[in-house]
Structure 1
Amino acid sequence: MPKHVMHLVTTGKQPLDQVVSKLASCPPDVIDTIHIREKSRSAKEIFEWYTALRSTLPKTHIFVNDRLDAAAAAGAPGVQLGYTSLPPRLARAILPASTLIGLSVHSLEEAARAHNEGVDYILYGHIFATGSKAGVEPRGIEALAAVVEAARVPVIAIGGIEPGNVEEVLSSGCAGIAVMSGILGHGDPAKQAMRYRERLDGSRHTPRIAFHGNE
């Protein structure tokens, strides 16, 4: 059965040494991909984050959000694009051919277009209520399932996902989940990461389109 993946997205609110400290005790194969999502930091700082996280979790893929300059300099295996980023077709022209390109989408129409824009996967949310989107109505499982059905690339679900609702999320056919404060805001991040991993690996559901990373 294809593996469900777990992506971890940095919060933009924690210093590098705190993030490294929280992740240092995580087993090497628990988190598949870490996204450096630090909008207020410079390209130099993003590069430093990449180097530190790569050293801390050498078996984990490290992706860079938005900053293609830092991603290219670090040799990152993937990037995550959003509304303010360069369009995927321009990012593809700049980056090495092997670089995975992800796109954050928030509607069924955006999900359906993603393949034609040249992206390798999409991030969709927020699925459940979350503090990072306070006051904004969550999109829910039904909308996620519709996006998974419409997309021709793997879908990673994000937003308010806890170990207890992982199986419900995976029932949509998505390729995996992305977590922020669910791990980085937890008192025991390593143990919490293992809880997520156990739910992912023990799921009875199968991804509609699996995410294979940079294998």
Structure 2
Amino acid sequence: MAGQNAPDLGLYLVTDRELCLGRPLPEVVAQAVAGGVKVVQLREKSASTREFVELGRALLALLAPLGVPLVINDRLDVALAVGAQGAHLGQSDMPVAEARAILGPKALIGLSLETMAQLREAEALPRGMVDYYGLSPILHTPTKADAGPGWGLAGLGQARAEVDAGSRRPIVAIGGIEPGNAASVLRCGAGALAVVSAICSAPDPQAASRELANILRRERG
């Protein structure tokens, strides 16, 4: 059973202002959504709490009328302050059960997984705790310096088989994904593609998003 709150995650943008080529983040996000992004995760590790809240409110005002969920990375306080649809948690963040108790049953909660052992622990969580998994990194990525050695395509396939035999929660693949490898990542078991630099640093974020969204549509048949 897929996570009860998970929408069609499809093309999933993870933000990074430093990669936006000097453009305002809301401008890049607006273009990305116009190109086919279905979920936006605000991940701004260098932002102060005030900045984070202001950015979150600006993105929520942009995304809410379009029906695109806003997910806040790590910071449950920011998610609550801006009224975001959910939060994405890493392995060193608040435990999932506590996060679910704080955010409530309707919030969209994702969990980053870097190893098969972490995936098996997550699979043991009760239904309704986690809505989707973020497998990270699939391929080498310079945008997350603290990432582990990587799943690789074979590891992604193994994870997909493990989840299909259990919770059937959606898998969002992140790490080094761009148009040249997106189809292979999907064929190996990803249900959605999370992208940072391939959109944020693209000369035309809308065109870059459209290209990736088209690959998703083709692979899904």
Q: Out of 112, 122, 132, which is 1:114 matched to?
A: 122
Aligned to 1:196: 212
- Is 1:160 matched with 2:176? yes
CA contact (8 A) 1:12 1:40 kept: no
RMSD over aligned Cα atoms: 2.4
Counterpart residue identity of residue 171, structure 1? R
Aligned to 2:201: 185
Counterpart residue identity of residue 36, structure 2? V
Normalised TM-score (structure 1): 0.85
Deviations 1:106-158 (A, max 9, x none): 01121122133321111002112222257974431110111112122111000
Give the direction of change, closer, same or farther, for the CA distance of 1:26–1:154 in structure 2 (3 Å limit).
closer
CA contact (8 A) 2:35 2:213 kept: no
Give the direction of change, closer, same or farther, for the CA distance of 1:137–1:82 in structure 2 (3 Å limit).
closer
Cα deviation for residue 204 of structure 1 reads: 4.6
Counterpart residue identity of residue 71, structure 2? F
Cα deviation for residue 75 of structure 1 reads: 1.7
- Is 1:140 matched with 2:152? yes
Aligned to 2:39: 33
Deviations 1:29-58 (A, max 9, x none): 711111111122233322211221123333
Cα deviation for residue 27 of structure 1 reads: 5.0
Aligned to 2:73: 65
Counterpart residue identity of residue 5, structure 1? G
Aligned to 1:125: 136
CA contact (8 A) 1:44 1:70 kept: no
Structure 1: runs of 5 or more not aligned:
206-215
The percentage of aligned residue pairs carrying the same residue is 34
Q: Out of 76, 85, 88, which is 2:84 matched to?
A: 76
Moved more, 17-26 or 131-140: 131-140
| Aligned partner of residue 91 in structure 1, secondary structure | helix
Deviations 1:144-176 (A, max 9, x none): 111112122111000111112111011122211
Structure 2: runs of 5 or more not aligned:
1-6
Count of residue pairs brought into register by the alignment: 204
